[in-house]
Structures are given as structure tokens and as C-alpha cells.
Chain A
Amino acid sequence: MSGGRQAVGQILGYTRMLLRAYVRDRSALFFSVVLPLMFMLIFGALNFGSFGHVTVGIDDEAQNADSARFTAILQGVETLSVRKGTLVGERESLVKGDRDLVIVIPKDFRLAPAAAGTATPPALTVYANAGRAQQASVGQAILAQVVDQLTFAVNRTAPVVALRVERVNSRDLRYVDFLVPGILAMTIMQLGISGVAFGLVAAKQRGVLRRIMATPFPPRRFLAAQVLQRLILAVVQTLILLGVALLAFRVQVVGSLAELLAVTILGSVVFLCLGFALAGWATTENQVAPLTQIVTLPQLFLSGVFFATDAVPAVVRPLTSLLPLTFLADALREISTNGATLWDVRGALLGLLVWSAIGFALAVRLFRFES
């Protein structure tokens, strides 16, 4: 029994020392906290890849109460930012890329039931920015919805409908809400794969592991502390990044924080195992960089960290949907943005479990203390 207590004491003591040394390591702190924050800042604040804001120019030729009401409804939709101007000026802005859509409200515009048998209803003319197809189509979809609701409201009796339109769109469409779970998944992958592979291969090559293996300290306890240290780091890192996302970017986390952390830990296990496998495969520090990049870079772009996986060509999508980072990013995103529960994301969790089994088998097979 005292052997067991000594083991726990040694593992925790070594973990504590590793964490203390980690905090002292400026470059490690940079890669694990500062860099992801910079990503969040650049992609989030510059709203790069944004489909969240659709800029709409309105040329109101009717200038009546009904056209003003219609414009007000559009202004009430959070996703849209509405500018008013002349057709010439607005079209110029569209060409320059400052507008995603330009809507022309015709002179005969009114919100009333069409008289039976009379001519066509007043037609809105819409110019779309072909260069920003995603934004233009979102704008058109919202516009169509607004027109439908208005038609419904005018022809029956129901009054205001704009609020419902806004609710449907606002949550899903903020890019930073989409981005933050992706960034979390990315940092967990980096901490696992790059952190372990670079750290352990360097330790192996410089003879640190040899020196430790010359003491009676059992290899299992060494590995346990190395894993425990990184699991703690993953949780702390997630909390820091989430804290900044919540406070600075006002990101909405709809689901449970505890479930988010649980997925974080499962994801860390997967990537730690893969990291140990790579650390076993690579014998010199020069081999580590290309190896880790071969494993991490494709996932960074194909697993929906920065962009929805819809952007990935359909041919490779069946493959990319099986990548470990895809499972992790999907699960984190579903919980964070849609309020999913662990049960709801069981498919992704199963994927992560399968990957952790594969990673563990590879790690056991490939990892060696001596190079």
C-alpha cells in the first residue's frame, strides 16, 4: 500500500515540477496561450471569413410610410447592417465590395393586399455582390423571409414578425462564436502533438530521458506525470481562452462548461497519444517538425477550425469527417454554439474514443525511451 502512495506522491510531485518549469518557458507559453489568442483576435476582430454581417444598401424611391416601415424591419435584423443612398451611389459601393446586396424599393411600393384581378405587386429589385456570394445569399434568404412574413402579416391579421427573423439568425451567424470552439480544438491538438513530440524528442536526443532512466523511477510513473501535466495544461488553456472569448469577444457559450471541459480532456488524450507515437517514431529534432506538420496542417484546414467543413470539396469530405480534429471541433462547437449535450454529440465522442484507442496502440508500439 505504501508503494501505491509513494507512486501517487511521485507522480504528483513530478507533475508539479513539470508545470513549474513549463510556466517558466516563455516560448511554450507563447505557443499555448498567446498564439491562439492572436488567432482569435485576427480572425475574430477583423471578422475574416465573416458571414455574420451582410451589408445592405437601400435605394428608397417610394419614400412613403410603408417603405420606411419595410426599411425599419430590415434595420431590426441584427445580421444586416443597412445603409441608405441613391441607386448610383449604392451600386458603386457594391462594385467596390462595400455592399453585399443593394435593394431598390420601387415608387409604387406599399404594404397592402393586392386588389383582386389587378396587375403584379410592386417588385423589389435586388443587386447581389457576386464576389461575396455567401453573404449575398444569406442576405437574400433573410430578405425573402422578411417579404414572406410581411405578406403573411398583411394578408391576414398577424402584426410584427421581424423579431422572430432576428432570433433565428443572430446566434448562428456570428463568426467568432463559430471560431472559438475551432481555436480551442486547434490548441488542444497543438499541445498534444507538437508539445509532446518536440518536448520528448528533444529530451531523448539530449540525454535527459537516459539520465532519468538511470534512477529507480519507473517509466510508467514518468509517463503518467507527463500525461497528467498536459491534461492539466489543456484544461487551464481552455479556461483562459474561453475566458478571453467570453469577456473580450462576448462569445456565447450555450452549452455546459463542464461538458465542454470533458470533451477537451478526451480530445487531449487522443492527441497526446498521437504525440507520444510521433515522439517514438522521430529520433532527431529535425525529423519532428516535418512529421508533426504532416499530421497537424491538413487537419487545421480540413477539419473546420476556421471555416465550415462545407468549404471542403465533397470528394474528400467523407475522409475529412473522420479526422480526429473534425470530431473534436464538431463536438466543442455543437456544445458551445448549439447547446448540445454529451449525448447529442455521441457520434463525435465515439470517433474520439476510436482515435484514442488507435493513438494509444501506436504510442505503445512506437514510443521508446532511448533513441
Chain B
Amino acid sequence: MPSIISVADLVKRYGPLEAVRGISFEVGEGEIFGLLGPNGAGKTTTVEILEGLRRADAGSAVVAGVDVVHDPQAVKDRIGVQLQASAFPENFLAKEVIDLFALFYGRRVDALALLAAVDLADKAGSRQEKLSGGQRQRLSIAVAMVNEPRVLFLDEPTTGLDPQARRNLWELIRKIRQRGTTVFLTTHYLDEAEILCDRVAVMDGGRIIALDAPGALVAALLARGFTKPALQQQANLEDVFLDLTGRELRED
């Protein structure tokens, strides 16, 4: 599998603080790759360097053929992004948001087709600020796809969503990968990483401390003699919740 992201010895400092301390990893084309870690581990800084939003201080990073350490601006055309804590301009209809971002990429797109792909065709004429949390995340994924990116970056895509909306978004992410787009995501939810990602990197204190397929990481842990004191149940509270409320998507 050829690499679409290659990172080697990447460093980013904020004053005396070294947020990213020489990390290296590769992401293969067509993978769903997860970057995990507690708050302050350096995940968002790493992602923002790969997205061309921040400049690295040392090391190298190549994303979709662009050296983002030396030319961060050039990568923006080849990737799609969904940022944490970002928003679309107010008083724009959903389909106008698509057209707006297509204009920013200098492209013409079929806004309705893109909205239909994220299951928002019936919301094309709604103002974007009136959409529910899950709908807005899907709109933001549709926007991230306007330039037919080779890599899609998703920063905590399911934070704040209800269980139904999370599952719906996982489906969407799998569909995007099936079309050949590489997906690079960060998340706090380990179940999400386990279900969705082909491989995960665990970051802490600015370093990558583990990197493998989720199953392999679990197997390695068990091989070191780890046991869980708790009784193994065949279901958990989330299964109860979904059994009671159904898997159908809700919109507030």
C-alpha cells in the first residue's frame, strides 16, 4: 500500500513548550487512520500542520505529494478538512454553503448531489444555522468533499452527537473510504476508533507511544498478561440505549 501521508521527526514548539516532539508515521492510501490521545497530547497541532494551517519547526511531512513543512498553502487544494470548533457563515442556505466553498476552491459542483451523498438533500434550502448538530457535521463533510480531496481530515467528528447520529456518521465515513478517499481522524472515543479505524496512533506528551491496528494493540496488551477485573458482559449500556430508542437517525 503506497503512503499518502509520510511524517518524519516532526517538531512544533510554542515558545518553551514542545507540543510535538519528533513524531514519525505513515498513512497508506485508502486507510481510515485514527490519531488518539488525551487533551493536550498534540493531536490537533499535528493535524493542523498536516492541513497546512500551522508551520512545523522541524522534520518533514508530505501529504498527497505536497511538502507541508515548506509549502503549507499548496496542500489545501488536495485535502478536505473538518475543523474542530469552526462554523459556516450565517444566513447561508445549506446548498449555498456548498457553492461558497466550491467558489473558494475555484470549482463548479453539483451542490444537490453532494448534499444527497450525506443524506441532506431535503435540507438544501434550509439555513445552515438551523440544522441539528448531526446534520451540521454531515454538511461539513459534504463541504470537505467539494474539491474531491485525496485525504479527508476529520477532527473529532462525532463529539457532541447522540448515539444514532454517531452511527450514521460512521456509515458515511466508511462510504467515503469505499470511494477511495483516505480518512485521517482524531477522536476521544475509543469505541469509535476500534470500530472505524484500520490503524491508530496513540499520542501522549507530544510523542506517538503506540501505532498499529486496534486488534493488534489489544492482542499485544493481552499478551503482556493484562486482565480485566470486571465481568465480561455480552452487552453494555449503549446497547441498551440503542435497543430502547432504535437505530433510526433523529434530528432535533
Contact = CB atoms under 8 A, between A and B. Distances in A.
A binds B: yes
Interface of A: 6, 10, 13-14, 17, 20-22, 24-25, 203, 206-208, 210-217
Contacts of B51: 214
B79 to A, nearest CB: 9
A17 B51 CA distance: 26
B96 interface: yes
B87 A206 contact: yes
A17 B83 contact: no
Contact of A214 (B76, B90, B100): B76
B96 A207 contact: no
A10 B106 contact: yes
Given A17-B92, A207-B83, A216 B100 contact: no
A21 B104 contact: no
Nearest to A221: B104
A291 B231 CA distance: 60
A14 B53 CA distance: 22
Contacts of A25: 90-91
Given A17-B96, A17-B99, A22-B91, A212 B83 contact: no
- Majority DSSP secondary structure for residues of B touching A: loop
Contacts of B170: none
Contacts of A21: 89-92, 96
A215 B104 contact: yes
A208 B106 CA distance: 19
Contact of A17 (B52, B76, B85, B103): B103
Contact of B86 (A14, A211, A216): A211
Contact of B100 (A14, A22, A213): A14
Contact of B83 (A13, A22, A203, A214): A214
A20 B96 contact: yes
Interface string B98-115: 011101111000000000
Contacts of A10: 103-104, 106
B248 to A, nearest CB: 30
Contact of B104 (A22, A24, A217): A217
B88 A211 contact: yes
Contacts of B83: 207, 210-211, 214
Nearest to B92: A21
B178 interface: no
A214 B51 CA distance: 7
Interface string B24-58: 00000000000000000000000000011100000
A264 B125 CA distance: 36
A214 B73 CA distance: 9
A206 B103 CA distance: 21
Return the 5 tightest CB-CB contacts between A and B, nearest first. Answer: A207-B86, A217-B104, A21-B91, A211-B86, A215-B104
Given A207-B86, A214-B81, A216-B104, 12 more contacts: A10-B104, A10-B106, A13-B103, A14-B104, A17-B100, A21-B90, A208-B89, A210-B86, A214-B52, A214-B86, A215-B101, A217-B103
A6 B108 CA distance: 13
B9 interface: no
22 contacts: A6-B106, A10-B103, A10-B104, A14-B100, A14-B103, A14-B104, A17-B92, A17-B99, A21-B89, A21-B96, A24-B127, A25-B91, A207-B87, A208-B86, A208-B89, A210-B83, A211-B88, A214-B76, A214-B81, A214-B86, A216-B105, A217-B104
B77 interface: yes
B73 A216 contact: yes
B63 to A, nearest CB: 13
A10 B83 CA distance: 23
Contact of B89 (A6, A203, A210, A214): A203
Contacts of A211: 83, 86-88
A213 B87 CA distance: 12
A216 B81 CA distance: 12
A145 B65 CA distance: 87
